[in-house]
A and B are shown apart, each in its own frame.
Chain A
Amino acid sequence: MRIPSGAAHIDPGAGKASFHMEDLAIPDYGSIPNGLFHFAPPTPGRVSFDIEWSGVTSRNKVRNPDPMQRFGGEFASTRTHVTWRGWNGGTLVFESSDDGQATVFGQVGQEFNGAFFPG
C-alpha cells in the first residue's frame, strides 16, 4: 500500500530505517488461511506500530539475474525492533512486549529491479 513519505525513513548508508503508523485501518482476516484465500470476509481492524532497523551486522552486494528476481543492490543486515498494538473493532486484541524479541531477518538497502536491472 502507498504510505505517506513521512511515515518511513530509510538510510542505507547508516544501516538504519524506521516505519511508524498510527491507527491504520486494515482488513482483519482472522486467520492465515483466510488471509490467503478469503474464504470469509474480513472484519475491520486497526494497528499502530513503530519499527526500527539499526545495528548493522554485515553488508553485501547482490546481483540476481534470475528471471523471477532480476534485482540487485547493496544491503546491510541489521537488527530490528517492533512495537505494535492491534484492535479488532474497538477491542484491543494485542499489545507487543519490548522484551523477548528476536530478529529473524532484518535488512536495509538500496536496490534496483525489473526495468532498472542492467542488462
Chain B
Amino acid sequence: MSLHDLELRRFTPPVGASFGHGHFWERAVSRRTFIAGAAAGVGGTALLAGLPMTAMAKSTSGAPRPIPGSIDVAGSHFHINLPGAGDQSTVFDFNGFVAATDTAGVGKGEFGDLTFDADMRIMEGEYIDLAGRHQHAAFGFI
C-alpha cells in the first residue's frame, strides 16, 4: 500500500486494528515528529510530541488556522497531510516559504541501535490568524 493509497482512502483503521506494524503507522499518522523505534516496529523508544494543532490554536494569541488535513484515524481527524501528499504546510490561509522532509536513518539508542523516521516541516511567511488579522511568523512542525 502506498502513501498515496492511504491519502486517497482517508484511512480509518478497522476495529481492533493492531498498532504493531511500525512502518504502516509511522507512514499513516505518527507525524509528530521524531520517531526512534526498534527495527521491528514502534515498540522501542519514541520521542513524540503530539497535540493536534487545533488545540494549540485555541489557546495562543495570533494563532494560525490549521489546514483542513486529510488524515482520519479511529474517528479522530488530524490537520495534516502525509509527506508528499498535498499541501505540506500545516498553516492555512498562508502565503510564504515552506520546507518539509521525511528522513529515515539509524542511530544509537540508550540500549542499542535504533532506526528513526523524522517528519519535520517549517513555514515562514504571512498568514491570517483565527481572529482575521494578517500576521507574519515562522512555524515549525516538530
Residues of A within 8 A of B (CB): 1-5, 7-8, 10, 12, 17, 19, 21, 24, 26-38, 42, 45, 47, 49, 51, 53, 64, 66-71, 73, 80-82, 84, 86, 88, 91-97, 99-116
> Which residues of B have CB within 8 Å of A102?
103-105
> Which residues of A have CB within 8 Å of B39?
none
> What is the chain A residue whose CB lies nearest that of B75?
A37
Residues of B within 8 A of A (CB): 19, 25-26, 29-30, 32, 34-36, 42-43, 45-51, 56, 60, 65, 67-70, 73-74, 76, 78, 81, 83-84, 86-89, 92-110, 114, 116-118, 120, 122, 124, 128, 137-142
Q: Is the CB of A103 within 8 A of B101?
A: yes
Q: Is the interface of A mostly helix, strand, loop or mixed?
A: strand
> What is the chain A residue whose CB lies nearest that of B81?
A69
Q: In the assembly, what is the distance between CA of A113 and CA of B107, in Å?
A: 37
> Which residues of B have CB within 8 Å of A4?
138
Q: Is the CB of B101 within 8 A of A1?
A: no
Given contacts A106-B100, A108-B99, 11 further A-B contacts (CB under 8 A): A2-B60, A19-B99, A31-B19, A69-B81, A70-B68, A82-B105, A96-B116, A103-B102, A106-B101, A111-B98, A114-B67
Q: Is the CB of A37 within 8 A of B74?
A: yes
Q: Is the CB of A88 within 8 A of B47?
A: yes
Q: In the assembly, what is the distance between CA of A116 and CA of B78, in Å?
A: 22
Q: Is the CB of B87 within 8 A of A71?
A: yes
Q: Is the CB of B108 within 8 A of A29?
A: no
> Which residues of A have CB within 8 Å of B116?
84, 94, 96
